[in-house]
Amino acid sequence: MDSLEIFTEKLLVELDSFPADSLKPDTHYRQLPEWSSMHVLIIIAFCETEYGITVTGEDLRGCSTLRDLHNLLLTRQ
Amino acid sequence: MPSTISAWEFAFPESTYSSEDFYREFPAIKRGNLEKTGVLKRHVASDGEFGSDLAFNAARKLMENLQLDPGSIDYLLYLSCDLDYYAPTTAGILHHRLGLKSSAGALDLVQGCSGYLYGLQIADALAQSGTHKRVLLLTASLLTKYIHPQDKGNRFLFGDAASATLIEHTNQGGLGPFLMGNDGSGAEAIIIKNGRSRHPGVDDNAPEIVDEFGNITTDNHLQMDGLAVFRFTMRTVPELVSTYLSQQRLTFNDIDLFVFHQPNLYLNELLRKKLRIPEDRFVHCIENYGNTVQNSIPLALHHAATTGQLRMGMRVLLCGFGSGFSWGITLLQYEQHAS
């Protein structure tokens, strides 16, 4: 599993519709105006394709930040 | 004797709804996210337009293009969720409107995004039975009528269309074999609950269901669990394609072109990458139509033929998947000109 910094860097490439510097490891991403259902799919696909880890919508609802998500992935590897 | 697709045609509702129209209607939505679906424009039906009318128009165009005698058609299949009446069949009404001979059969089929594969399979079986040499397969989707006006995600995604496909005996090329499947545990992932026998009519007091992104639906409207559909697709389709090719003793390199149902660009790109299919052998056709349900595969075939991506002699893999959950896959040896 990548470090939080590398994980965030890779995920931001996929989540390219957020303005630069608006999404950091401790940002509450649901509060960003750009946050949409498309991002949920992108994050789930990213976790599956990049790390081979299945994340559900329920899992994502329990995460508020990319740090939460990274911690979740660490428990699943 | 094998059968093949020998021609196709299409019809669309008069009105279109562009992404610019969408952002004018919903100015609070930030650009950049929904664009990943790949949709720029879609046709949307008005209250006075019906699936059978669009299918009729597509069939007439096909018959005119080919100067086809209606009396030469041996069977009509109408595949749609948009049926005119509880009874009789819409196919029977279209049979009369198109002037088919009384000895030609007519049958309705109900299926969603995998529907074109189901329609082709039955048309192919009829054609191969020896008594129905020429089968007309009509598909129509007017799903936008059933999307809640405030269901922004689905309004961006879906478009309406109808197609007419002629399936007939051939001496070269052909369709099949088919591999189909269904998993009814996914029934509620894509559903319109009201309007049929279990919940007749429309419930004017149906409560609104609001998701975390502010999309609204009710039991009278399309309800789609995008995550469930996503997981079904990513779990089922790659395995389906690999299993099918293995059964046919083929490899990915033996397939000249892959034509999948077009749910959205992002999902199909994930599938393409997971299956390691080169870009030039995979058809995308969603930009000007949106997700047109049963019509997406023939539209993609037509698009590929128009752009030169689909050429005579190619071995094409067709794959449909969606509500039900349901799926189907087959091969098309493309040997005849389309309209």
Q: How many interface pairs between A and B have CB atoms less than 8 angstroms apart?
A: 53
pLDDT for res B181: 97
Structure tokens at B284: 């995308």
pLDDT band at A20 (very low <50, low <70, confident <90, very high): confident
pLDDT for res A58: 84
Q: Are residues B161 and B41 in the same domain?
A: yes
Let me know if residue B266 belongs to a domain. Answer: yes
Let me know if residue B202 belongs to a domain. Answer: yes
* CB contacts, 8 Å: A49 with chain B: 270, 273-274
The Cα B334–Cα B4 span in angstroms is: 8
CA-based nearest residue in chain B for residue A61: B212
pLDDT band at B1 (very low <50, low <70, confident <90, very high): confident
Considering only B99-108, B168-177, B235-244, which range has the smallest mean pLDDT?
Answer: B168-177
Q: CB-CB: which of B30, B227, B273 is closest to A44?
A: B227
Domain that holds residue A45: 4-76
Residue B257, beta-bridge partner list: B316
If you average pLDDT over every residue of chain A, what do you get? 88
Considering only A18-32, B71-85, B208-222, B294-308, which range has the smallest mean pLDDT?
Answer: A18-32
* Residue numbers of A between 43 and 62 with CB closer than 8 Å to B: 44-45, 48-49, 56-57, 61
Selection from B149, B224, B145 nearest residue B187 by Cα: B224
β-strands B257-260, B190-191: how paired? Answer: unpaired
Chain A nearest CA to B37, separation (Å) = 9
Q: Which of B23, B33, B235 best probes binding to A when mutated, by most A CB atoms within 10 angstroms?
A: B33
Contact predicate B329/B117, CB 8 Å: yes
CA-based nearest residue in chain A for residue B156: A38
Q: Are residues B64 and B205 in the same domain?
A: no
* Inter-chain CB proximity A37 and B37 less than 8 Å: no
pLDDT for res A48: 87
Let me know if residue B34 belongs to a domain. Answer: yes
Q: What is the mean pLDDT of residues A16-39?
A: 83
CATH number at residue A55: 1.10.1200
pLDDT for res B336: 62
pLDDT for res B339: 42
ipTM of the complex as predicted: 0.80
Contact predicate B151/B60, CB 8 Å: no
Which amino acid appears at position B240 of this protein? L
pTM of the model: 0.93
Count of structural domains within chain B: 2
The Cα B157–Cα B38 span in angstroms is: 9
* CB contacts, 8 Å: A38 with chain B: 33-34, 36-37, 153, 266
Count of structural domains within chain A: 1
Domain that holds residue B275: 179-334
* Inter-chain CB proximity A36 and B215 less than 8 Å: no
pLDDT of B337 higher than 60: no
The residue assigned the tokens 């529907």 is B115
